[in-house]
Amino acid sequence: MKNVVFLILILISYIGNSQSDKLDNFDTDYQYREDQFYASVTYNIINHKPSGVSQSGFSSGFNIGFIRDMPINKNRNIAFGIGLGLSSNSYNQKNLLIEEVANGVTFTIIDEDDYDVSKNKFTTYLIEVPFEFRWRTSNAEDYNFWRIYTGFKVGYLLYNSVKFESETLNSNLYNSGSFEKLQYGLTLSAGYSTWNFYLYYGLNPIFDSSLKLEESGIEMKPINIGLMFYIL
């Protein structure tokens, strides 16, 4: 993983230097980029839940990072972007018990009334690389503008936790091998100025595809909906 991150940093640096060389071909007014720090807050939905599994409470997510802007036209309002960031995402559910047993991790649908559950959630922490195609109405002097950024994001799982607390059973797992290490999906960010609608649609399952719940595969995927804030 260290080698992957190192190669990504080299790529960002190389692209940035190449773009800087090309800037000499434009007037000074057009020598700007929309390089940006970003932060997002999201409400997290579990997509493709197994039959009988229910979500509960507010499942939240948080993302921070930096995106390098690479304009591809003279007006510099169309660009590609590549970045590096971190994310934390929690998912609360009512009746899915994720528990470590002697032969590994098991997934069981429970009757929550039998357990009097007070907390039941899992959380993932990832390092992420977003790729974007960017359109906006900005120029070198106007920083309040409309934007539509679409793209693809790849994340590598750094850490995870599972917490189940009830009157009859407490179970905590940390850095469980039941999660998929590589997470990826589609992204959309659209809005005006600092405030933007944000959507992440996960394309692969959160958990290892070899795991089963009542003889069926666990195909749960994330959908994260919220607000994206771009900070110059």
Q: Mind listing the pLDDT tens digit of every residue in the chain (232 residues)?
A: 545 444 444 444 444 444 444 444 444 455 778 888 999 999 999 998 888 888 887 899 999 999 999 999 888 889 999 999 999 999 998 888 888 877 778 888 888 777 778 888 999 999 999 999 999 988 777 777 899 999 999 999 999 999 988 888 888 889 988 899 999 999 999 999 888 999 999 999 999 877 777 777 788 999 999 999 988 7
Count of other CB atoms within 10 angstroms of residue 91: 21
What is the distance in angstroms between the CA of the first residue and the CA of the last residue of the chain? 29
Task: Find out if CATH 2.40.160 is the number for domain 2-231.
Answer: yes
Tokens of 196: 């933007």
- Tell me if residue 59 falls in helix, strand or coil: coil
Are the CB atoms for 77 and 146 separated by under 8 Å?
no
- What are the backbone dihedrals phi and psi of residue 129, each rounded to the nearest 5 degrees, phi first? -125, 105
Q: State the Cα–Cα distance between residues 125 and 219, nearest whole angstrom.
A: 19
Break the chain into its structural domains and give their ranges.
2-231
- Outline where DSSP puts E strands in 167-209: 170-174, 182-192, 195-202
Residues β-bridged to residue 69: 81
Strand 195-202, strand 96-101: pairing: unpaired
Residues β-bridged to residue 61: 42, 89
Are the CB atoms for 96 and 171 separated by under 8 Å?
no
Is the pTM higher than 0.85? The answer reads: no
Are the CB atoms for 65 and 151 separated by under 8 Å?
no
Q: State the Cα–Cα distance between residues 152 and 174, nearest whole angstrom.
A: 28
